[in-house]
Amino acid sequence: MSTGTPQRYRWLLHVDLDQFQVSVERIRSPELAGVPVIVGGNGDPTEARKVVTCASYEAREAGVRAGMPLRAAHRKLPDAVYLPLDMGAYDTASAEVMDVLRAQGYPVEVWGWDEAYVGVGPLGSEVDAPDDDAIADIAARIVDEVRQRCGLLCCVGISDNKQRAKMATGFAKRLEGTRVFGLDERNWAELMGERPTQDLWSVGPRTAAKLGQHGVGTVDELVATGRDELIGWFGPHQGNWLYVLSRGGGDATITVEPWVARSHSKSRTFATDLTRPGEMAAAATDLLRELLEQVRAEGRMPFRVAVTVRTSTFYTRTKSRKLPTPTDDFAALAPVVEDLLGRFELDRPVRLLGVRLDLADEQDGTDRDGRDLDRREVGE
């Protein structure tokens, strides 16, 4: 889906959003600030085979990490707030951030919900690339505008290629204030030379262990290792890559790809908790109306509806249903929203309601699995 040939740039900015899913949840529920929050699965920490997707810094201090089984996280922090993944909310928040990045006037390559690369100063251009001060100002402006417009914190790593820029982000995260850091050939050896090889982007524990078996434990020691030796140990592809990576080399290109939302969602945290089914249904259908305005403006068609409920105790659940056929008809969707809402056992006050519409592929009318939506059965 590339819009053109990848272009090389003098500067690559790696933009990384802090504890992204947790931050989105805290925007919706400000009371979660300062509280250990763990996002993953359906929010039930006792469920088997589910893992942590994102942990707040408070949870990380207790040893909880992304990828850890939720059960293991619960043993470490039984009193943390556990929340389910809300894909639609994260899609929406991420899209808002990417719009801020694109508004800077530079090409953006999105790598996920919470990270992207920005290319500045195309090589071969007649226009000079920004100098050190100017590129630092651009990065600082990105941090400020993402915070002001989206309410999210990010940091920016600056370098001349993606791999080194991503490693620069690791230094930026440790900074107070600007949260911007530059890493290139001028400070590479000083900052990275004595670090373990696993601190290099893409070098995992197995590769680091194998290097250790050959007496290579630091980046400096990897630099001192010949290319032929590395190829002999790892083969031509990985051996050459380690040779380049250890010297700070990497990919300096940006490929711009069109972004198409998979879903849209809206949620509302209420100043006063809702207790009556009628007011809950009215609030949910109001959210549906707002969503449909956005979906219709984009010419998209919903094929699945989801409703999220968060009680006053932060117990959060989502129920969804696939539609018999895609539709943007409010009269057809409103009963689905009300029926899904009625399937929750709401014996506690509700502090947040959310509605999500999953959208059919705008080109061929299929869902993201490539199946024909017209033949899908209704189900939860």
Which residue numbers are catalytic? 115
Kindly report the CA angle at 191 between 152 and 135, in degrees rounded to 5? Answer: 50
Q: Which residue has the tokens 């690559």?
A: 12
Give the count of beta carbons closer than 10 Å to the beta carbon of residue 259.
Answer: 15
φ, ψ of residue 280 in degrees (nearest 5): -65, -45
Strand duo 154-159 + 81-83: pairing? unpaired
Tokens for 215? 């007496």
Q: How far apart are CA 262 and CA 151, in angstroms?
A: 22
CA 322 centroid distance within chain: 25
Letter string b/e over residues 171-200, b meaning 16 or more CB atoms within 10 A of that residue's CB:
bbeeeeeebbbbbbeeebeebbeeeebbeb
| Helix 132-150 with 87-102: angle, nearest 10 deg | 140
Q: Which alpha helices (H) appear in 77-115, and where do they start and end?
A: 87-102
Using only the alpha carbons of the chain, give its radius of gyration. 24
Query: Which among 12, 309, 26, 51 is positioned nearest to 163, based on CA atoms?
Result: 12
Q: How far apart are CA 174 and CA 177, in angstroms?
A: 10
